[in-house]
Structure 1
Amino acid sequence: MHQELSGSYFDGVTSRAHRVTLAVHDGAVHLTGDAQRSTPLAEMRVAERIARAPRKLTFPDEATFEADDQAALDALLHATGHRDSIVVRAQQSWRSAIAAICVTAGVLVVSYLFVLPAAADLVAHNLPVSVERQIGQGTLALLDRHVFSPSRLPEARRGELAARFARLVPPETVDGPAPEWHLVFRKSRIGPNAFALPSGHIVLTDEMVELLQDDDGAVMATLAHELGHLHGRHLTRRLIQGSAVAAAGLLISGDASSLVAGLPALALDLHYSRDAEREADDYAVALLERNGQPLAYLERVFEAFQRLEHKGPHVPAYLSSHPDTADRLARVRQHDRHTP
């Protein structure tokens, strides 16, 4: 085989283009013209094909050759037995590119919906208690500065609510005993709310107490639901998931502020998955049944939410972050009908 190509040779030392002729024979690449050299064909590197950019041949010392006729270069490479890798060939095919995009999107969706939650659950259940306490206490302190103010409920009423809940016996679960908790009361700028922080704090707002107007029943059912979130470490899992997404954004954008600033927002939003809400509802049902309390207490909570929803188009933060109230109410009523 003896084929020749005209082109430019760059020695890698100066920017000057040397006009040369390249020939391939006897298993080697030979240059003649302004520069002369011979190099074994096996030591040459072929640049990947990139759109309209000229394809280069690179010598062992990083000198390069650019052919004037790229089509002729492709023919020469083919004649020498050179074949582009599968990846390079795929990059030149729009069908392959679309398929790669679809596969990548599928992997991302599956990872977000299944892999990330499973990983977050594993990490949450192995996270040191000290770390969870630090996260919860820091979040509560931040919320106290920007969202909450001291509770205006009488101290005696707050103490009685905490005492009543403490007298309830937690249900027996395969996940172990009930976590330690501490009930705190706050007045809120965002209306009725209740949530459990990884530190073990269960936050109950004055507005939620006033909405329910049932300290013996509905409020206890609400606290049981939040204890279910605490038992399942739902907020810790969600914070881990949110942090992973924020970290991915950090890798893409280089903006670390989103990772730090996102944690309090996640804690306040509490947009749990439907599975997490069902788990917390089931925990509340089990707690009420363990203590011989009617499930009507939990039904009253959902009924109060429905009345609040019907008052106007503005949906309080607590309700907007939870699944459909009617579905949850129907599920509890169905369980109540099947309870002996």
Structure 2
Amino acid sequence: MEYPNVRRRQRPPSEYPTSESPHFHQGKKKDSSESKKGRRKRDQSTIKQQILVLLGSLSGLGVWYLTPVASWITTVLVQQIPVDADVILGRAALAEFESEYKAIYHPHWSPLVEQVGRELISTLERTSSDVLEQAGGEHHAVEKTLVSLLDGLSPTTTRTSSKARIHGFKWDFAVVKAPIVNAFALPGGYIRVTDKLLETLSPTRGELASLLGHEIGHALFRHSQKRIVQQKMFQLVISALTYEDHDEDEETFGEALGELLLQSAQFFGRQKFSRDDEYQADATGWILLQNSKSYNPQSVESLLTKLWTLQGKTPTTLDWMSTHPATENRIEALQEKWKGLNRREKKRLEYRPI
């Protein structure tokens, strides 16, 4: 119903809310407060996510550097390198190596080094399964598991067995002229011993076999290649996956990795091995001597004891310690190996001179 005679009251301009009015910002304050709370929650959520990412990254780094995971993965990657690529890499490394340390013929030591080296390779070829299983230890078992998993994911993946390396390497033993006490294992089976080591230690035949057996272990298990791959893991893997040398042949991952490692050939004689590498090389020497027909495996302990005793007396020439750190723990581990043998086996081996 309309009331024509009743006039509606008009609000004067002074009654309209203005910016000076206490109620003007009431709604905006509420919206602003809610907006700030929302931003605070989003900021807190972002900080939490960043903390989780940081913790995850630190955990990942911890797993990578404080556990054997990196070593296992590196072992599987290096296993993809074909034997012929290893030999080519070894020749390149040897050329770099001999630019500093020339091979010489030593009337006494050169024939002995060659002869003992050949005896050990014959033992290695005859008892390869035993050597690989025992010297490989836990790493060998994990390696086989990872390789089986890799085969399941990619049946076309190529890999080089340790037995193929035993028979495919160009095992070569020689003496080099150098003012340092050291021995070197280059890829492909090239083993070199300095004349300074031989003249300083005057090793017995058994100790010389221990030395060469140790270096055979480094070459056989590709410890030098593993060290370089582990140092440049992601760079080398990505480069190998995208590798193109513009020839007609399509390289496998292992072939590409082998060719990329050629760029590091100059560093192979200077690699510092890890503790696990040293234990594995010691175990290789021990098993080779145990399985041989002439050598007492206690010679491995005897050699390390000589080197350990020499430490400190000639610090400028004992380069062995920088690349093959001899520790009391390694000597104790060898003593435990001997204690673990039964009486009959000890008696059999004791007839052999150290």
Same fold (TM over 0.5): yes
Counterparts of 1:182-197 in structure 2, within 5 Å, are 182-189=172-179, 191-197=180-186
Deviation at 1:307, TM superposition (A): 2.3
Match of 2:86 among 98, 112, 132: 132
Amino acid aligned to 1:304: K
Partner-residue secondary structure (3-state), 1:188? coil
Whether 1:100 aligns to 2:102 is no
Instruction: Tell me the matched-pair count.
Output: 254
User: Per-residue displacement from partner, 1:159-207 (whole Å, max 9, x unpaired)?
Assistant: 2321232123124326454353111321124x11112111211121112
Whether 1:229 aligns to 2:222 is no
Partners in 2 of 1:287 and 1:260 — Cα distance?
A: 29
Shift of the 264–126 alpha-carbon distance from structure 1 to 2, 3 Å rule, reads closer
Partners in 1 of 2:206 and 2:189 — Cα distance?
A: 22
Partners in 1 of 2:315 and 2:109 — Cα distance?
A: 32
Partners in 1 of 2:178 and 2:231 — Cα distance?
A: 24
Counterparts of 1:34-73 in structure 2, within 5 Å, are none
Partner-residue secondary structure (3-state), 2:329? helix
Partner-residue secondary structure (3-state), 1:202? strand
User: Per-residue displacement from partner, 1:71-126 (whole Å, max 9, x unpaired)?
Assistant: x8xx58x77xx99997x7544x3x65444323212212323444432221112112
Instruction: Please report the TM-score for the alignment, with normalisation by the length of structure 2.
Output: 0.61
Counterparts of 1:1-340 in structure 2, within 5 Å, are 90-91=45-46, 93=47, 96-112=49-65, 113-145=67-99, 147-151=100-104, 153-154=106-107, 157-168=109-120, 169-170=123-124, 171-173=127-129, 175=132, 176-177=162-163, 178-179=166-167, 180=169, 181-189=171-179, 191-244=180-233, 263-264=264-265, 266-292=267-293, 293-311=295-313, 314=316, 316-339=318-341, 340=343
Instruction: Please report the TM-score for the alignment, with normalisation by the length of structure 1.
Output: 0.63
Deviating beyond 6 angstroms after TM superposition, the runs of 4 or more aligned structure 1 residues are 82-86, 259-262
Shift of the 105–247 alpha-carbon distance from structure 1 to 2, 3 Å rule, reads farther
Amino acid aligned to 1:150: A
- Give the structure with the larger helix fraction: 2
Contact 1:136 1:199 in 2 (8 A): yes
- Give the structure with the larger strand fraction: 1
Decide which moves more: 130-139 or 175-184. Answer: 175-184
Deviation at 1:271, TM superposition (A): 1.9
Aligned to 1:35: none
Partners in 2 of 1:315 and 1:209 — Cα distance?
A: 13
Contact 2:290 2:296 in 1 (8 A): yes
Tell me: higher relative CO, structure 1 or 2? Use CA pairs within 8 A at least 6 residues apart: 2
Shift of the 274–303 alpha-carbon distance from structure 1 to 2, 3 Å rule, reads same
Partners in 1 of 2:111 and 2:228 — Cα distance?
A: 31
Partners in 2 of 1:338 and 1:236 — Cα distance?
A: 32
Contact 1:192 1:316 in 2 (8 A): yes
Partners in 2 of 1:116 and 1:85 — Cα distance?
A: 39
Contact 2:117 2:173 in 1 (8 A): no
Partner-residue secondary structure (3-state), 1:196? strand
Amino acid aligned to 1:219: L
Deviation at 1:261, TM superposition (A): 11
Contact 1:152 1:187 in 2 (8 A): no
Structure 2 portions without partners, runs of 5+: 1-27, 133-161, 240-259, 344-354
Deviation at 1:311, TM superposition (A): 0.7
Deviation at 1:226, TM superposition (A): 1.0
